[in-house]
Amino acid sequence: MSGLPKANGQRYHFDIYAILEGTQELYFGHEVMINVNMVETVKLVLPNGEGLEKCYFSPTKRRGIERRSLLWAPCPNGQMLGENLDCHIPRTCAKPECPICSVYGGLIVGKQTLIGRLTHAGGVAIQRLLPEEKQRAMHPTAIVNDPNENPPQPFKRQYNEPGLLYPVYNHCLSVTEQEFTAVAYAFLDSLARIGSGNPKGATIYETDGEPLLVVDKYLVPHGERPVISPAETSVENAIRRFQSRAWAVNGGNWDGGSATTDNGNFQRWVGKMAYQKLQDWADTFVNDVLKKYR
């Protein structure tokens, strides 16, 4: 048994596919290390045997940013959603009725575990640009009231260079449309807060005014998955692959930027229509969840 209550309506699978762009230098942090001024990279071996190292935006870091976007979401009563739910990090409430834990999962050590139904993937940068090391004036831990007593020391930190593109993916397993509204809200709200330090923020990359974004809602997967190989180093090839797969739906009837199969078991939204659909779901989350706390 899943431990979840019976759903109020049909459950579906949902996917979000996107290519994010770092609009400025970003610091993501090296794995789980603290006070280590390196960013995380991954090493690959190409089919021809060539070694390759790339910058990496870990899916677990993105997951944490999204969860915090929900926990810190503002409610009309002057509190944040996490305070109203008594749900925090690391002490999550792990209640099936919690709009955050029910999708992202929760844990009360020794008492209760609620398995999450949302997984994050991707994050390997497309380009070969390696981290750049830059000197900063002082380390935050060196700031003191009297600088003459202990002068702050310059330090160096690695950053992911501006303009790097990161293919990212969110996959939801058996959630209702109402439950997915929390995922849509968190995905959109977290974009401006991406990063382990300052500066922060990324955006959905656009070509010809169309965001490289795909949203699927389905019972059976009929569309090709617009996933970019981590071995790909050409931005042009990656964009071409993403777009060609985004518009490939087996048996899909297209209406502008959306497609639905004849049996209704698969729906896809692409580009601006996908972005609008996520915004509509995010609005529903605000109206049905956040505004409930007055």
Question: In Å, what is the CA distance from 180 to each residue of 78, 207, 256?
Answer: 25, 27, 23
Specify the amino acid at residue 51: G
pLDDT at 5: 82
Q: What is the rounded distance in angstroms from the CA atom of residue 83 to the CA atom of residue 70?
A: 11
Q: Which residues, in sequence order, are bridge partners of residue 286?
A: none
Question: In Å, what is the CA distance from 139 to each residue of 54, 86, 143, 206?
Answer: 26, 34, 7, 36
Q: Yes or no: say if 249 and 259 are a contact pair by the CB < 8 Å rule.
A: yes
Query: Which pTM value belongs to this model?
Result: 0.90
- The CA-CA-CA angle for residues 4, 10, 12, to 5°, reads 85
pLDDT at 36: 58
Q: Kind of pairing, strands 51-55 and 41-45?
A: antiparallel
Q: Which of 11-25, 115-129, 134-148, 254-268 bottoms out in mean pLDDT, i.e. has the lowest?
A: 134-148
Residue 212 has pLDDT above 70, yes or no: yes
Q: What is the percentage of the chain residues whose pLDDT exceeds 70?
A: 89
In the chain, what's the furthest Cα-to-Cα distance? 74
Q: Yes or no: say if 281 and 184 are a contact pair by the CB < 8 Å rule.
A: yes
Encoded tokens for 77? 């009563």
